[in-house]
């Protein structure tokens, strides 16, 4: 083997490159300069951080432009923009979660918040609890019950319709005209504003049962309009990835098509379908607008979705903020609203995590 060439000390490959410690130097300089500038115009930590970041990015880009050339500078500029945009995006999102946590935790920990309704909680009660400094009365039990029942009924309506439609599209339609129409309309439905779905259900039941019909079931129908396309979409995707070999294997054994679907295709795809349904539930349980126009507002527990107004977590939050129970002392209502918001977020997150869990639990078992 030929003798190896020895490594050159001053590499041609690093010529015209900034030394590796450059970013650290620039970062230190940016922080110091930013602190100095901030002390001139009034110091605050947030402004300091922002100014430091901007100076750091500018320093990086300029030093690259001077030493390493236009291409490197452009690359660093793009990197600064992308990373900067990401940090900017984090701000409101962190702020939302922080606000909800800070404002929501006290109310949620309030004894009785989960187990009592707003029945009998009037402005006078709130005024008294503010005056005497006693714990805030009232809770979300009725709203929680309403949310669960309405979502349950929406699921009962949406899952069979959505799943059967997906089955039709994947297994029966053979891509005919009608299936194209359905696919198109499902896309259209995905884009229906939630308030319009609420209006539809309200208008529909107003024509059948007379104007002003507001029950939990009307709300469930409104949510179904939003939920069905999500279920169709996710189930369709899942059924499509079931390999055709499985179907053919079943047909070759003389199994009827519907038995093949029920016993072979759906079990194979069940994990994806179940997690899709869970995600759909997570989406509609937070819907507010359609409930406002279909279920009305209630302060007491109503277990019957077919009669009477019904409260739900999102509308509870909305009404507590917009029309505080005691107009002169809004604090108890605000506290209840944030606590309900925190509860709602926790529910949605649990459903999302549940969807992941379901997907891995029901995943088809491999031989190993």
Partner 1 sequence: MSTTKLVPKAGAGQAAKGRIGDKVFSGAALTAGALIVAVLFAVALFLIVQALPTFGAAPADITGGEGFFSYIFPIVIGTLIAATIALLIATPIGVAVALFISHYAPRKLAKGLGYVVDLLAAIPSVVYGAWGASFLASSLKGPYAWLAENAGWIPIFAGPASGTGKTILTAGIVLAVMVLPIIASLTREIFLQAPMLHQEAALALGATRWEMIRMAVLPFARGGIISAVMLGLGRALGETMAVALVLSSGPLIASLIRSGNQTIAAEIALDFPEAFGLRMHELIAAGLVLFFITLLVNMVARWIINRHKEFSGAN
Partner 2 sequence: MSKRIDVSDLNVYYGDFRAVEDVNITIEAKSVTAFIGPSGCGKSTFLRTLNRMHEVIPGARVEGKVLLDGDNLYADGVDPVTVRSQIGMVFQRPNPFPTMSIRDNVLAGVKLNSRRMPKSDAEALVEKSLRGANLWNEVKDRLEKPGSGLSGGQQQRLCIARAIAVSPEVILMDEPCSALDPISTLAIEDLINELKDEYTVVIVTHNMQQAARVSDKTAFFNIAGTGKPGKLIEFAETATIFNNPSQKSTEDYVSGRFG
- Interaction residues for partner 2, span 33-92 (CB under 8 A): 70-72
- Of 7, 21, 45, 86, the one binding partner 1 (CB under 8 A) is 86
For residues 307 and 223, give the distance between their C-alpha atoms in angstroms, rounded to a whole number: 17
Smallest gap from Cβ 146 to partner 1, in A, equals 14
In 3D, which of 278, 322, 297, 288 has the Cα closest to residue 193? 288
24 sits near partner 2 (criterion: CB under 8 A) = no
Using CB under 8 A as the criterion, what x/- string covers residues 340-359 for binding partner 2?
--------------------
Find where tokens 């030093």 sit: 63
* Residue 12 lies near partner 2 (rule: CB under 8 A): yes
CB 146 within 8 A of CB 314: no
Instruction: Find the distance separating the first CA and the last CA of the chain, reported in whole Å.
Output: 48
Q: Which does 349 bind (CB under 5 to 8 A by kind): partner 2, partner 1, none?
A: partner 1
Subset of residues 170 to 199 that bind partner 2, contact rule: CB under 8 A: none
Residue 44, contacted partner among partner 1, partner 2, none, CB below 5-8 A by kind: none
- Residue 368 CB, shortest distance to partner 1, in Å, is 16
Q: Among partner 1, partner 2, none, what does residue 92 contact (CB within 5–8 Å per kind)? A: partner 1
DSSP letters for 217-229: HHHHHHHHHHHHH
Q: How many residues does the chain have?
A: 368
Q: Which of 173, 271, 300, 329 binds partner 1 (CB under 8 A)?
A: 173
Cα–Cα distance list, 180 to 80, 100, 174, 359 (Å): 45, 43, 10, 29
Residue from 81, 114, 307, 363 in contact with partner 1 (CB under 8 A):
81
Instruction: From residue 165, give the alpha-carbon distance in Å to each of 155, 169, 277.
Output: 15, 6, 14
Question: Could you tell me the smallest distance in angstroms from the CB atom of residue 15 to partner 1?
Answer: 15
Least distance from partner 1 to the Cβ atom of residue 307, Å:
18
Number of residues that bind partner 2 (CB under 8 A): 18
**Should residue 71 be labelled a site residue for partner 1 when binding is judged by CB under 8 A?**
yes
- Contact partner at residue 180 from partner 2, partner 1, none, CB < 5 to 8 Å by partner kind: none
Q: Which helix (H) or strand (E) holds 182?
A: helix 177-190
* Chain Cα centroid distance, residue 73: 38
Tell me if 208 contacts partner 2 by CB under 8 A.
Answer: no
Give, as one character, the DSSP assignment of residue 8: P
Query: According to the binding rule CB under 8 A, does residue 26 interact with partner 1?
Result: no
- In sequence order, the 6+-apart residues with CB closer than 8 A to the CB of 23 are 60
Quick one: which segment of 11-19, 30-38, 112-120, 332-340 binds partner 1 (CB under 8 A)? 332-340
192 contributes a contact to partner 1 by CB under 8 A: yes
State how far the alpha carbon of 128 is from the alpha carbons of 131, 326, 328, in Å. 5, 10, 12
Min dist. Cβ of residue 77 to partner 1 (A): 8
239-258 residues near partner 1, rule: CB under 8 A: 246, 249-250, 253-258
* Residues binding partner 2 (CB under 8 A): 1-8, 11-14, 17, 19-20, 70-72
């Amino acid at each position: 083997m030929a003798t190896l060439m020895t490594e050159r000390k001053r590499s041609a490959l690093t010529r015209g490159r900034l030394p590796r410690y450059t970013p650290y130097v620039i970062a230190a300089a940016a922080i110091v300069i930013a602190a100095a500038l901030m002390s001139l115009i009034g110091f605050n930590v947030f402004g300091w951080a922002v100014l430091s970041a901007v100076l750091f990015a500018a320093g990086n880009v300029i030093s690259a432009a001077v030493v390493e050339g236009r291409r490197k500078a452009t690359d660093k500029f793009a990197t600064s923009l992308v990373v900067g945009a990401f940090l900017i995006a984090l701000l409101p999102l962190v702020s939302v979660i922080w606000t909800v946590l800070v404002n929501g935790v006290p109310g949620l920990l309030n004894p009785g918040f989960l187990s009592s309704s707003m029945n009998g909680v009037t402005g006078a009660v709130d005024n008294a609890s503010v005056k005497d400094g006693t714990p805030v009365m009232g809770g979300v039990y009725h709203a929680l019950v309403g949310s669960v029942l309405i979502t349950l009924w929406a699921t009962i309506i949406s899952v069979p319709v959505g799943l059967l439609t997906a089955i039709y599209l994947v297994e029966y339609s053979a891509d005919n005209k009608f299936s194209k129409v359905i696919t198109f309309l499902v896309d259209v439905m995905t884009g229906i504003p939630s308030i319009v779905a609420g209006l539809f259900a309200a208008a529909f039941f107003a024509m059948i049962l007379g104007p002003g019909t507001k029950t939990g079931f009307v709300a469930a129908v409104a949510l179904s309009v939003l939920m069905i396309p999500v279920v169709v979409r996710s189930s369709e995707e899942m059924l499509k990835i079931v390999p055709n070999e499985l179907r053919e294997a079943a047909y070759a054994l003389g199994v009827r098509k519907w038995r093949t679907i029920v016993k072979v295709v759906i079990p194979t795809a069940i994990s994806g379908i179940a997690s899709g349904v869970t995600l759909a539930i997570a989406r509609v349980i937070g819907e507010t607008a359609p409930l406002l126009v279909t279920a009305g507002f209630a302060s007491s527990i109503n277990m019957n979705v077919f009669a009477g107004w019904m409260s739900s977590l999102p509308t509870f939050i909305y009404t507590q903020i917009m029309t505080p129970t005691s107009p002169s002392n809004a604090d108890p209502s605000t506290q209840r609203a944030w606590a309900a918001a925190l509860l709602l977020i926790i529910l949605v997150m649990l459903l999302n995590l549940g969807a992941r869990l379901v997907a891995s639990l029901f995943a088809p078992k491999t031989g190993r």
